[in-house]
């Protein structure tokens, strides 16, 4: 028996907290059958064809727009599992995903990663500290 439940999982946390690892595990484990999608703003900065990560702060808005486009498209197409792994330090960053999930009748789960495994993208400590200082706890009423 297959499940018709469609899920959006938002994985949030500071750089180096384990977001990408958890997101990949969720996709591999998958719940039910159907298409699965995983995305993050960081995906935008991996160059083709070499796959090398090249962060460009001036393109961060474009990166988030592309991540939303991928996630929204997957929900529009009815993928059974959509996993987005971004820092999501503030609530307003999650609102667009939550709105589309509600529109398409997706259940939503928010996972907060609190590990400290070191940033694979070498995010400077002062940047991580600024992110930590603006961190907002998730409000399920959103």
Beta strands of 6-124 (E only): which ranges? Answer: 7-13, 36-39, 81-85, 107-113
Displacement of CA 81 from its chain's centroid (Å): 12
The predicted pLDDT at position 5 comes to 86
The predicted pLDDT at position 1 comes to 37
Q: What is the pTM of this model?
A: 0.91
pLDDT in tens, the chain (142 residues): 345 789 999 999 999 999 999 999 999 987 567 899 999 999 999 987 788 999 999 999 999 999 999 999 999 999 999 999 999 999 999 999 999 999 999 999 999 999 878 777 888 889 999 999 999 998 887 6
**Structural tokens at position 33:** 């059958």
């Amino acid at each position: 028996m297959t499940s018709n439940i469609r899920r959006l999982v938002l994985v949030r946390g500071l750089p180096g907290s384990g977001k990408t690892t958890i997101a990949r595990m969720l996709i591999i484990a998958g719940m039910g059958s159907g298409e699965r999608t995983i995305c993050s703003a960081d995906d935008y900065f991996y160059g083709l064809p070499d796959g090398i990560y090249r962060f460009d702060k001036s393109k961060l808005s474009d990166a988030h727009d592309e991540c939303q486009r991928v996630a929204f498209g997957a929900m529009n197409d009815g993928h059974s599992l959509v996993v987005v792994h971004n820092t999501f330090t503030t609530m307003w960053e999650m609102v667009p995903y939550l709105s589309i999930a509600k529109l398409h009748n997706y259940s939503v789960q928010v996972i907060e990663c609190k590990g400290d495994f070191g940033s694979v993208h070498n995010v400077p400590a002062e940047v991580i500290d600024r992110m930590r200082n603006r961190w907002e706890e998730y409000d399920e009423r959103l």
